[in-house]
Structure 1
Amino acid sequence: MRYANIAFPLSVDQVFTYGVPPQLDAVLQPGTRVLAPFRGTRQEGVVVERLNETDLAPGIIKNISTCLEKTPTFSTELLALTKWMAEYYVCSWGLALFCAVPAAVRTQKEQKVQLLPDAPTPRGKVQKQLVALLAAEGELSLNQLARRMGISYQKLRPKITVLQEKGIVSLDVTHKPKANTQLTSVATLALPSTDIEAEIDRLKGEADGSENPAGSRPGNRRHIAAAKHAEILRHLLDAGAPLATADLTKRVNSSISLLRTLERRGFLDITRAQAVRNPLSSEPIATTQPLHLNSAQSIAFTELQNILTSDTAGGVCNPDVPHAPAVERAPTFLLHGVTGSGKTEVYMQAMTEVLSNGKSVIALVPEISLTPQAASRFVGRFGERVALLHSRLSDGERYDQWHRIRNGDADIVIGPRSAVFAPVKELGMLIIDEEHSDSYKSDIVPRYHARDVARKRGELANCPVILGSATPSLESFHRAKNGRYRLLSLPDRVLNRKMPDVHIADMRTELKKGNRTIFSDVLRNSIEERLERQEQIILFLNRRGHSTYVFCRTCGYVERCENCSISLTFHFETKRLVCHHCGNKRPTHPSCPQCGSPAIRYFGLGTEAVEQEVRKAFPEARVKRFDADSTTRKNAHQQILETFEQQQIDILIGTQMVSKGLDFPNVTLVGVIAADTSLNLPDFRASEQTFSLLTQVAGRSGRADLEGKVIIQTYMPEHYCISAAQKHDYLGFYAQEVEARGALQYPPFSHVGTLLLRGKDEKQIEEAAHAVEAHLQTWLTDQASTAQADETEGDVGGSEVEILGPAPAPLSKIEGKFRWHFLLRSNSVESISQLLKHLTDEPPVAIKSNAIEFVIDIDPTSIL
C-alpha cells in the first residue's frame, strides 16, 4: 500500500499519514481535497505529499475515505505558497491551505438522524412525535427535523441525544458540497444557419400576410406566433451560442410553449446545461478601447512591457522541488502615481500584453465596494475573460466564478485580498491596486498581508508584481528607493488636469468665532456653491454610528461595553448602543442608570450624525450615507455607487470606503469633517495612515474637466502629515516620516511582530505574560550561547530580537477577555517567526491552559 500526508484545518502544525486505497491510488495527487477519518468523524483535508513507505506501524494507519475531486484544488505553486505562509505567519499549513479556497467550494458537515430497526417505543410526547416523523420521512438532517417539529436546533439537539442513548435513533455526520453546479434549460439551433435564415424569412412572410392562406388576415394568433417564432430564431442565430430558455422567452416576451413548438418542428433543441451564475450579468457594461498614453504612462508601460515580453517572466515552479522558487525571480514594480494619473489604464494595457502571451492576471482591490466598479472597467475592456471573487457573492456565484477560473474559462481575476489565491492557469502578472491599504491585511488566522503573499506568489510563478498607489506604504517606497523594487512614476493627472486645491480649516479658529457646528464657514459655503452648480460632494469621516459615547452630565457616568474596555457608540437608526468590537447591543436609557439624572448627552461624531446635520443644513440636497451600516444588504455597495454615478445623489457621506479608487467626474468638492480622528492613536503608523487617508479622499475631487476643491477640517493644522496632504506632497511626507521611523528603529528599518495573550482572568493573563517573557528570553539566550560555542552565527542571536513588553494592550479588554501584548522587533522577520514558532511548539506551562489564548501577528498594520 502507498500512503499520503494530509493537512487538516487545525491550529496544530502537523500533517497526518493515511493509507491510500488501491482505487484512489491513480487519482490522488498532492493538492487534492479528501475526506479522511479523524477524531471519531470524517474531516476534509488536503493531500500535501505522496509516500511510498512510512515508519508508522501498519495497524495504526487509517485509510482515506473519499477523494472529493478529479482535479487538485491546489497546484504545485499554491502548495508552495501556503507552505511559505504557514512558516512566515506562524500558523499551521492546514489553516493556510483552507484560507486559500472559498467556503463555497468546500464541503460542509450535515448531521443526519435515522430511526434504528426494532427501536423501542419512547414515552415522552415530543419523542414520540420525532419517532413518528422519522418513520414517515426516513433519514432527516437535524435542521430539517427542527423545522418540521417547529422548534429550535438548540432545543432539538438534547432530545436527539436522549433517543441515541436509548438506542432509538442513530446520528451520522455526512459531508455535502456547500454549493454545486446549477443546471438550466437551454435552447440550441438544430439546423445549419442557412436553413434557419430560410425559415425566418418564411415565418416573416407568414406574419405579414404574404404567405397567408386565402382569407387569412395578419394579426390573428397564427400570425403573431409566426412573428415570435422568427424573433426567437433570430436571437439564437445572432447569439451564435445556446441561450437559456428563461432569458430567451424574456427577450421576446413569449412563453416556453413557442419554444416547444419550434423544437417539435426540428428547428431547435431544448436541453439541460450548466448555468453560470454571473454576478455582473444584470449590469449593462459599455465596451472600451485602449486610451492614448501620455509620456509618463508610456515610460511606465514600456518598462513593464520589456519584462512581460522577455523570456524570464512567467516561469513555473520546478515540479521536482515542490517548495522551491522558480529559476529566476521576476521584479516587483512600484507604480507611484498621483490620484487621477491613469494607473488603471497602465494596468489594462499591461494586462493585454500578458493575455497575448496566453497567461493570466490577478488584480487585487482593497475594498469589496471597489470590486464591482473595477470589474466593470475590466469587463468593458476584456469581456467575459473577467471573473469576480469576493465575499459578498452568493455561494453559487462564488462556486461558479472559482470553477471558471480553475477551468481556464476566465484569465483575469478581480477581487479583494483573498483573490490572491485564485487558481488561475499560467499566472503572468499580479496587480495590487492601492497597495498601501490595511484592508489587505487579514485579521484572522492566518494573518497574512495580500501584498506580501502576492510578491511571494510572483516569485514562485516567476512573474512580475505591480504595486500601485498614490500614497505607497513606507516599506514599499523605501524598498523602491533602495532598488529592491523598480520605481515607476506618474507625477501628473491625465489630460493635464489640475490637482484639487486643498484648504485647511482650523477648527480652533471656528470655535473662537462662535461656530459650534460641524461645518466650518468655508465648507458650508463651498457645499452651497456646489449644490447651486449641480455638482457633487463627498463628505468623509472615518467613524460610523451617531455618537461615539453617551455621558451623564450629573455624575459623569459613561455607557461602556461590559465585555470591552471601550465606550458604546450610539446608532440613531436603530436607537441602540453598539460595541464596534464585540457587537454587543443594548437599548439607550432615558435617564442615567447610575444616578437617575435625565441629563444624558450624546458626544462624539459619526457618519449618522453627519448625515443628520447635512439634512438639516441643506434640506434640498439628496443625501446618502456609505458605510458598513448602510451596505449590509447584498449589492448595496454597487447600488449606492451606481446611484451616485447617475447623479441622483448630491452629497455622499462615508467612511474610508469613499477614499479608495472611486472615480466620479461630477465630484468637485471633498470635505474632511475631522482629520484628527486617527492622528493621535498609540500606533507608530498613525501619521502614515492619516496622511494616506487624507490624500486618497482628496483625490476623489476634480477628476474630470471640472476643477476640484478639498477642505480639511482639523484642530492640528501644523502637523506635518496635514500640511503634506494639503500640498499633495508624498515625497515631503515620506522624508519626515522615514526620519522619525529611523530614529526609533521602526519599519521600514526593522520588522515587527506582535504577540497578544488574552483570557477572562486578569491576574492569570498578567502572570502568563511574564512567564512568556522569561520563556522567550531564555530561548534567545540559549540560541546565542549555542552559536558562540560553535563559533558560528546562529539563526537567531540573543541581540537579534528585541522584546518590548509585556504590557496591557491599548484596548485592554475585548469580548470579555483581558489582553496583554508584546512587540517583537528585529532586522530579520525570519528571526521573529522562529522565536514565535518556538513558543507555539514548546509553550511554557503558564499558557498551556485552555483559558489562555495567544495571537501571533507578523508585520501587523495596527498594534492596538
Structure 2
Amino acid sequence: MDRAGVRPPAPPVPALDADGNPVAGAPAIVRVALDTPLPTLFDYLIAQAVVPGQLVQVPFGRRQVVGIAWELTQRSEIDPAKLRPVTAVWHELPPLNDEWRRLMAFAARYYQRGIGEVALPSIPGHLRTPLRWPRLLAQRGVQRYRLADGAAIALQDGVPARLRAQRRLADGLIDAGTLDADEARALCAKAPDVLKQWAAAGWVTIETVAVHEPLTGHAGPISGEAPAGDDWTEDVPAHAGSATQDALAPDAGRRTLTTGQADAVAAIRDALAERGGTAPFTPFLLHGVTGSGKTEVYLRAVAGALTEPDAQVLILVPEINLTPQLEGVFRSRFPNEALVTLHSGLAEGERARHWLAAHRGQARIVLGTRLAVLASLPHLRLIVVDEEHDPSYKQQEGLRYSARDLAVWRTSQLEAPVVLGSATPSLDSWRRTEQGRYVRLAMPERASPDAVLPRVGLIDLENERKRQRAVHEGLSQPLLAAMRDRLARGEQSLLFLNRRGYAPVLSCDACGWISDCRRCSAHMVLHKPERRLRCHHCGAESRIPHACPDCGNTDLAPLGRGTQRIEEALSEHFPEARLSRIDADSTRRKGSAQALFQQVHAGEVDILIGTQMVAKGHDFRNVTLVGVVNPDAALFSHDFRAAERLFAQLMQVAGRAGRAARADGPGDVLIQTRYASHPLFAALMRHDYEGFARQQLEERQQALLPPFTHQALLRAEARQLAQAMEFLKTARALAATPELADERISLWDPVPMSMVRIAGTERAQLVVESPSRGALQSFLTHWIAELRALRAPVRWHLEVDPLEI
C-alpha cells in the first residue's frame, strides 16, 4: 500500500497456457498453501511446470518447507521481482484433485482456520519431508510373513507353551497361512524380531507385497463369521471383480437378512444407483439396536459401491482399537480387494504408504479413524461412519473438526451416499431425521433369530445400605452373585467402570491432605501396580509418598475406585477366575489392545474389566452378564450433553451382553446406582432410545441449546487467569462495536473453565451462539480478523460446534 493506504494495482504477469504451464520464456505465479497460522496463500514464481494440487518445496524465511500448489495466477499483490521461485515439484505424485481441495477449503472456512493449517497436517509427515520423497517412491511394498511348507509341526514344537504371546503368533500364522505386519504385532508385540528368528530357522518366509495389490490370506473375522444374505446380487455389472462378485453371492454367508437389514440395504442400493441423478442428496441414519447387524449392512453397501470400476469406499470408526475387528471382517468378505487402514497408531512410514495407496486409487477400501476423512480418495463413492454419535469424531486440538460432519459435507459435494450408523444416534443427527434432512433406517431387532435384547436391571445401592448388605470395594452382593453364577456356567462377565487407575485420589485422614497435581486443577490418580501417582491431564508423575507431605502421617488411604482396584477386589472374590483389564494403562504398547481382545474372543478370560474401550463395537459372543459400576456422577454434570453421553455409553455397553442366541434366555445387565428412580434408567430398562431422545430434545428446545441453536467457543490461555479473562472481555467488547454487532448473535459472559489450570496454564472461555448458522459464520469471520489484530499476550483459539463447554 502507498502512504495514503491505497493498494496499487498488481503488476501484470504473462499468461499461462491451457494446461496451466508458463508460456515459454515468461514467468508465472503459483499460490501455495503452507502450514502456518496466517490465513493466506503465498505467492511464488514458477520455475518449472506446476499444476494445482501438486506438492512443492518452497523457501519460507530461512527454511525450505513443503506446501501445496493451490492455484495459478497471472497477478500478485507482491512485486514479482521480490518473489522467490519454487524449489522443487514432486511430479511423481498425482496432484491432489479439485474435490479434495474443495473439502480443505470448506473445512478452513467453516472452522475459521487457514487453508494451509487444514490441508498440510492432513497429509502424512513423511510426505511433507522432501528428503523422504525418493525413499517413499522406492518403498512401494509391505512385509508379509508366510508359513513355510511343512513347517507347522516344527513351529508348534519349537515354541514353548510358557511364551504365550509367541504361541498366539504361531497359532495365528498356522491358522491363516500368512500374516501382515499389523496382524503379527497384534498377536505378539515383539513379532518382527520373533519372525526373523523363525525365518532363520526355516519356519517362515518373509516377502514384500506391493501395497496396492490385494492382500490375500488374511485370517478371518476375529469375532466369528461375517453374516451375509442374498441381496445385492441383482444387476451386478459384468465388469465387477471376482472379490465383489463373491461378496454379492447368495452363499457369501449363512444368515438371512432381517426385514430392517433388507430395507436398509435396498435404500442404500437405490441411492448408489441414482448417484448424480435428479434425486436430492440425503444422508442415511442407520438406527439399529446393538447386535442388529449394522456391520452386515455396511458390507452390502460396500459391495454395491465396488461394482463401479475404480470406486473407493471409506469406513470410519471412532477409536483405533475398533479397527482390527472390523478390518478382519472386511478382509474376509473382500479378500481380493486392496484394503488399507489410516489412523494415528500407524508408524509414520506405514501411514504414508497407506495414504499413497488411497491417493493413487490403488486401495479401494479405506478403514480409519477421524483423520481418514481428510484423506485423498479420488474415486470416493461411499462413506460409512460407524458409531456416529461418538465424541471421538470431534478433534479436540489443532483443527477442531468433526469427522462425521465433514463426511456428510464431502458426500454431499460428490452426491454419494453416506451411512451414519449407531444404536444411540447423536441428538443432532436424530433431530435432522425429524426435519427430513436425513433418512432414518430402523433396525429394531437383533440379527440372530434367537438373540434378543438383554434384560436391564438396577441394583439400588440405597436399598442395599438400608438392608445392611455389605458393598465390598464398590461391588454389591447381587452383582457378585450374578458373576459367580456366570463362572459356574462357564460364561463370561464384563464389568464396566469408566475410570482407570487404582483410585482417583490418595488422602490423609489426619490433616486432610489430598494428592493434588501442582500443575493442574485436578488430583493425581493412584496407580498401585506401578506405585505411582499420575495426573491424567498433564502426564506428571511422582512416587507414592511413604508419609503425608504435610503432617507426616503414614496412614494414607485411597479414595474412590478405578479399574485397577476393581480388578484387585475381584481377584480376592474369585481367585479361580481368569481376569483381564482393558483400559488405557493396560494397552499402552502397540498391539496390546488387540492381543487382549483376542484372549476374550478365544474364551481365555472369565471376567473382563474395562473402561469405554470395551463399551462399543466388540462382538463378545460368550458375554452374558454386564455389570456397571458407579455411573451416577454423569447425572449431575454441568455439561448439558452429559445425560446423552451416559445413555449412549450404558446402552452401548449393555449391548455387549447376550449377543449370541442361548437356550437359557437373554443376557443380563446390572447397573449399580443410588438414583434408581432417575428417568434415564427407566428409558434404558425399556431400551427406549426414541423416548429418551424425545425428552432430551424437548428440554433443549426450551433452553435453546443445540441442536436448536449453533455455538462457537473462544478459549484463552495464559500464565495468569486475569490475563485470559481480560482478553475475553476485550473480545466481547469488540463484538458489540457497530461494525460487528448483530442482533442474531449472543455472547455469554467470560468465565473460567471448569478445569481452570492444566500444565500450569490458566484457562477461560466465552460462548458465542446464534439461531442462524450463516449469521454465526459471518460474525466469526470478521470477529477473528479483529482478534488477530489485538496481539494480546495470551494463547487463544476458536472452536466451532464445541462438544464440551
Q: TM-score, normalised by structure 1?
A: 0.76
Q: Which amino acid aligns with 2:798?
A: I
- Equivalent-residue separation in structure 2 for 1:608 and 1:255 (angstroms): 40
Asked if the contact 1:757/1:855 (under 8 Å) is kept, the reply is yes
| SS of corresponding position for 2:67 | strand
Q: Is structure 2 residue 533 aligned with structure 1 residue 582? A: no
**1:474 corresponds to which residue?**
427
- Equivalent-residue separation in structure 2 for 1:282 and 1:562 (angstroms): 53
Distance 1:247 1:357, change over 3 A: farther
Alignment of 1:221-300 (within 5 A): 276=211, 284-285=219-220, 289-290=252-253, 291-300=255-264
One of 842, 857, 861 as aligned partner of 2:786: 842
Residue 632 of structure 1: how far off its partner (Å): 1.1
Q: Is structure 2 residue 273 aligned with structure 1 residue 336? A: no
Distance 1:687 1:185, change over 3 A: closer
Residue 407 of structure 1: how far off its partner (Å): 2.5
Alignment of 1:312-461 (within 5 A): 312=276, 330-358=281-309, 359-383=311-335, 384-461=337-414
Q: Which amino acid aligns with 1:802?
A: S
**2:14 corresponds to which residue?**
none
- Equivalent-residue separation in structure 2 for 1:300 and 1:186 (angstroms): 38
Percent of aligned positions that are identical: 35
- Equivalent-residue separation in structure 2 for 1:580 and 1:340 (angstroms): 33
Q: Deviations over 1:567-620 (max 9, x none)?
A: 111111221111111111111212211122223211111111111111111111
Q: TM-score, normalised by structure 2?
A: 0.82
- Equivalent-residue separation in structure 2 for 1:186 and 1:748 (angstroms): 48
Distance 1:346 1:571, change over 3 A: same
One of 533, 536, 542 as aligned partner of 2:489: 533
| SS of corresponding position for 2:517 | coil
Asked if the contact 2:213/2:362 (under 8 Å) is kept, the reply is no
| SS of corresponding position for 2:636 | coil
Distance 1:534 1:852, change over 3 A: same
**2:166 corresponds to which residue?**
none
One of 650, 669, 683 as aligned partner of 1:694: 650
Asked if the contact 1:501/1:709 (under 8 Å) is kept, the reply is yes
- Equivalent-residue separation in structure 1 for 2:203 and 2:291 (angstroms): 49
- Equivalent-residue separation in structure 2 for 1:698 and 1:838 (angstroms): 47
Q: Is structure 2 residue 736 aligned with structure 1 residue 782? A: no
**1:14 corresponds to which residue?**
40
Residue 50 of structure 1: how far off its partner (Å): 1.2
Q: Is structure 2 residue 1 aligned with structure 1 residue 46? A: no
| SS of corresponding position for 1:494 | coil
Residue 830 of structure 1: how far off its partner (Å): 3.4
- Equivalent-residue separation in structure 2 for 1:106 and 1:575 (angstroms): 41
Q: Which amino acid aligns with 1:301?
A: V
Asked if the contact 1:578/1:584 (under 8 Å) is kept, the reply is yes
Asked if the contact 2:580/2:608 (under 8 Å) is kept, the reply is yes
Asked if the contact 2:740/2:782 (under 8 Å) is kept, the reply is no
Q: Is structure 2 residue 448 aligned with structure 1 residue 495? A: yes
**1:616 corresponds to which residue?**
572
Larger Rg: 1
In structure 1, list runs of 5 or more residues that go unmatched: 109-173, 188-234, 237-245, 260-269, 314-326, 785-797
Q: Which amino acid aligns with 2:520?
A: C
**2:22 corresponds to which residue?**
none
Residue 93 of structure 1: how far off its partner (Å): 0.8
- Equivalent-residue separation in structure 1 for 2:557 and 2:202 (angstroms): 62
Q: Deviations over 1:234-288 (max 9, x none)?
A: x99xxxxxxxxx99998998599xx9xxxxxxxxxx9x97654999889522685
Distance 1:575 1:355, change over 3 A: same
**1:816 corresponds to which residue?**
760
**2:248 corresponds to which residue?**
none
Q: Which amino acid aligns with 1:434?
A: E
Q: Deviations over 1:728-787 (max 9, x none)?
A: 110110111111111110011111111111110222222222111111222xx4345xxx
Asked if the contact 2:214/2:338 (under 8 Å) is kept, the reply is no
Q: Is structure 2 residue 32 aligned with structure 1 residue 3? A: no
Asked if the contact 1:107/1:177 (under 8 Å) is kept, the reply is no
- Equivalent-residue separation in structure 1 for 2:301 and 2:321 (angstroms): 24
| SS of corresponding position for 2:634 | coil
Q: Which amino acid aligns with 1:419?
A: A
Q: Deviations over 1:790-816 (max 9, x none)?
A: xxxxxxxx2211111201111111111
Asked if the contact 1:329/1:463 (under 8 Å) is kept, the reply is no
Distance 1:591 1:277, change over 3 A: farther
Q: Which amino acid aligns with 1:12?
A: L
587-596 vs 447-456, greater mean Cα deviation: 587-596
Distance 1:328 1:250, change over 3 A: farther
Asked if the contact 1:440/1:451 (under 8 Å) is kept, the reply is yes
**1:591 corresponds to which residue?**
547
Distance 1:577 1:508, change over 3 A: same
Q: Which amino acid aligns with 2:628?
A: V
544-553 vs 336-345, greater mean Cα deviation: 544-553
- Equivalent-residue separation in structure 2 for 1:751 and 1:578 (angstroms): 37
Residue 838 of structure 1: how far off its partner (Å): 2.6
Asked if the contact 1:775/1:844 (under 8 Å) is kept, the reply is no
Distance 1:40 1:495, change over 3 A: same
Q: Which amino acid aligns with 1:567?
A: H
| SS of corresponding position for 1:843 | helix
Residue 473 of structure 1: how far off its partner (Å): 0.3
Q: Which amino acid aligns with 1:355?
A: L
**2:802 corresponds to which residue?**
860
Asked if the contact 1:429/1:458 (under 8 Å) is kept, the reply is yes
- Equivalent-residue separation in structure 2 for 1:703 and 1:391 (angstroms): 30
One of 68, 77, 96 as aligned partner of 1:74: 96
Q: Is structure 2 residue 115 aligned with structure 1 residue 93? A: yes
Q: Deviations over 1:325-371 (max 9, x none)?
A: xx975220001010011111111111111101222110101110100
Distance 1:577 1:738, change over 3 A: same
Residue 840 of structure 1: how far off its partner (Å): 2.8
- Equivalent-residue separation in structure 1 for 2:108 and 2:476 (angstroms): 50
Asked if the contact 1:341/1:494 (under 8 Å) is kept, the reply is yes
Q: Which amino acid aligns with 2:794?
A: I
Q: Which amino acid aligns with 2:695?
A: Q
Q: Is structure 2 residue 256 aligned with structure 1 residue 305? A: no
- Equivalent-residue separation in structure 2 for 1:69 and 1:95 (angstroms): 23
Q: Which amino acid aligns with 1:312?
A: G
Asked if the contact 1:301/1:346 (under 8 Å) is kept, the reply is yes
| SS of corresponding position for 2:120 | helix
Asked if the contact 2:215/2:339 (under 8 Å) is kept, the reply is no
Structure 1's consecutive aligned runs of 4 or more residues displaced over 6 angstroms after TM superposition are 174-178, 183-187, 246-253, 277-282
- Equivalent-residue separation in structure 1 for 2:64 and 2:270 (angstroms): 51
In structure 2, list runs of 5 or more residues that go unmatched: 1-26, 145-176, 179-193, 227-251
